[in-house]
Chain A
């Protein structure tokens, strides 16, 4: 692979994969919780939570990135605390790129999982309760296996979205090669310099290949899981 790609290209690719993978895996538990709460619980603030989850989908990405900067930047009200207490910061680090990607992908992940939860018949969960299963056990033995295809679909969707995230990322953590320069921001950089078209095109092809591979993987996974659940 190193023969095909220049070190810079390889760097952008591996950084993109790392950022997207972390963004997806780290937000998955929170996404599952939010989806469950939105699908099953009725509480004051339900519609506020719903709006909050969907906000990154409807705001301009640059606005989301700027809000992240205000909140998690070194001087931000969360960012300053993290820096003072733990010496940790998201600003201009690859972890910040992962945070931006996670926030932007969150609505898509929650939506897919929520649809799967709403498709689970609560009567099955009632039946499990009469058989002696407490609520957490019902969730682990009935709800979770039945929504697994939805979780996988949500995770793949979030991963794909994270791979393509541009606006919020470049606003929040800039475009630093080796630290925050992902495939899309690298393409953008090449397009800014004269004669960079050929290099940009190589990255475009790489992006398409990664996207297609992710799609194929998700198809294969969800078909396997669906078959296992339907018992064929």
Chain B
């Protein structure tokens, strides 16, 4: 699937003007509230009609079709389940209005773990359960594209953790292209294969998630404080003292116990501010994870900080240091350094499955 978007719309005091060509996989539209992300997916769904729009999905133009003929599944931030129908009837709604038997009902009910909820009414469900039913309802409408508008925003951390694996499974097992709106960098880093940064109605940056998130030039767009690179690593051992050993392209790292099988590939987001730099391999240090690295770029911001992009055996890592340290260490492209990552600083929610969908 490729999705090509060209949208222009003049709101009072706000102009939306975006052009995007998106590859298969899960694309995150990332940006602040009010940047126009939701307007973009509402336009794809046909719920808003921009002044000018061209929306082409796999060669099929969607922009002239009414919403109900676009075959675009939409998971709203607020679930929007039909209160007068049971969960089972909500799930079957898309098939019912198209007068077709529901396809893959059992598989999707399994995938989302909602079999026990089928006879219940939306009013009796928790927020997380509602959102899973909403995802199932959208999937069962036989969509060619899935839109998700901050589906986790209204949930607490525990409920988010309950749903994230289901979205990863969608991305990896259904092959359905997904357009995902979020303003949470943690979600973007965990889920996205492609990221488009939306700022004030325009596309500020777009690219493969692993490139974009580890590029010090785009990091300020994502929020310097939250900058961090995604590193792919393979689970090597579950060690008896509660740590999990992962092998990266630059050597082993140890993280607090992860529920993962030996040999499984994981995506780990390592925040730039959790990475220290040293010119020599440090000794007598409590940090376990010391990786040999090479400086690729140093990006000085407006404040006292600087972002350093590192190469660790072919992968990218970001480190956030002060400009003073950068000067003292004479950090410059090509310099060999050691990157130090504190094990306990990598949060469980920053570790996810590696997307199987091809990128690009």
Give the interface residue-count category, chain B.
Answer: 20 to 34
A231 within 8 A of B: yes
Query: When the two chains form their complex, are residues A124 and B66 in contact, meaning their CB atoms are under 8 A apart?
Result: no
Evaluate whether A146 and B83 lie within 8 angstroms (CB atoms) in the complex, with A126-B67, A129-B67, A132-B68 already known.
Answer: yes
Complex Cα distance, B121 from A232, in Å, reads 8
Query: When the two chains form their complex, are residues A142 and B98 in contact, meaning their CB atoms are under 8 A apart?
Result: no
A132-147 contacts to B, CB under 8 A, are 132-134, 137, 141-142, 145-146
Query: When the two chains form their complex, are residues A146 and B68 in contact, meaning their CB atoms are under 8 A apart?
Result: no
Within the complex, what minimum Cβ distance (angstroms) separates B71 from chain A? Answer: 7
Q: Mark each residue of chain A from 118 to 161: 1 if its CB lies under 8 Å from any CB of chain B, else 0.
A: 00010110111111111001000110011000000000000000
Give the one of A127, A128, A134 with max B CB within 10 A: A127
Complex Cα distance, B44 from A100, in Å, reads 51
A42 within 8 A of B: no
A189-232 contacts to B, CB under 8 A, are 228-232
Q: Which chain A residue shows the least CB distance to B71?
A: A132
Query: When the two chains form their complex, are residues B121 and A231 in contact, meaning their CB atoms are under 8 A apart?
Result: yes
Query: When the two chains form their complex, are residues B83 and A127 in contact, meaning their CB atoms are under 8 A apart?
Result: no
Evaluate whether A134 and B84 lie within 8 angstroms (CB atoms) in the complex, with A127-B76, A128-B93, A231-B123 already known.
Answer: no
Chain A residues with a Cβ closer than 8 Å to the other chain, count = 22
User: Pick the contact of B72 from A121, A130, A133 — CB < 8 Å?
Assistant: A130
Given A132-B68, A141-B97, A230-B121, 17 further pairs, Cβ under 8 A = A123-B76, A124-B82, A124-B83, A126-B47, A126-B80, A127-B74, A129-B47, A130-B47, A130-B138, A131-B73, A132-B142, A133-B68, A133-B97, A134-B66, A134-B68, A146-B84, A230-B123
Interface on chain A toward B: helix, strand, loop, or mixed SS?
A: helix
B44-81 contacts to A, CB under 8 A, are 45-47, 66-74, 76, 78, 80
Give the one of A121, A131, A133, A229 with max B CB within 10 A: A131
Complex Cα distance, B66 from A137, in Å, reads 14
Q: Which chain A residue shows the least CB distance to B137?
A: A131
User: Pick the contact of A145 from B46, B67, B84, B86 — CB < 8 Å?
Assistant: B84
Which residues does chain A contribute within 8 Å of B73, judged by CB atoms? 130-131
Complex Cα distance, B76 from A149, in Å, reads 27
Query: When the two chains form their complex, are residues A131 and B93 in contact, meaning their CB atoms are under 8 A apart?
Result: yes
Q: Mark each residue of chain B from 92 to 103: 1 if its CB lies under 8 Å from any CB of chain A, else 0.
A: 011011100000
B113-138 contacts to A, CB under 8 A, are 120-124, 137-138
Evaluate whether A132 and B98 lie within 8 angstroms (CB atoms) in the complex, with A123-B80, A127-B80, A146-B84 already known.
Answer: yes
Lowest 4 CB-CB distances: which A-B pairs, in order? Answer: A231-B121, A130-B74, A127-B80, A131-B94
Complex Cα distance, B67 from A134, in Å, reads 8
A sample of 16 inter-chain contacts (CB < 8 A) reads A127-B74, A128-B82, A129-B67, A130-B72, A130-B138, A131-B93, A131-B94, A131-B97, A132-B94, A133-B93, A134-B66, A134-B68, A230-B121, A231-B121, A231-B124, A232-B121
Complex Cα distance, B80 from A100, in Å, reads 43
Q: Which chain A residue shows the least CB distance to B45?
A: A130
Which residues does chain A contribute within 8 Å of B86, judged by CB atoms? 231
Which residues does chain B contribute within 8 Å of A141, judged by CB atoms? 93, 96-97
Which residues does chain B contribute within 8 Å of A130, judged by CB atoms? 45-47, 67-68, 70, 72-74, 138, 141
Which residues does chain B contribute within 8 Å of A133, judged by CB atoms? 68, 93, 97
Complex Cα distance, B182 from A31, in Å, reads 44
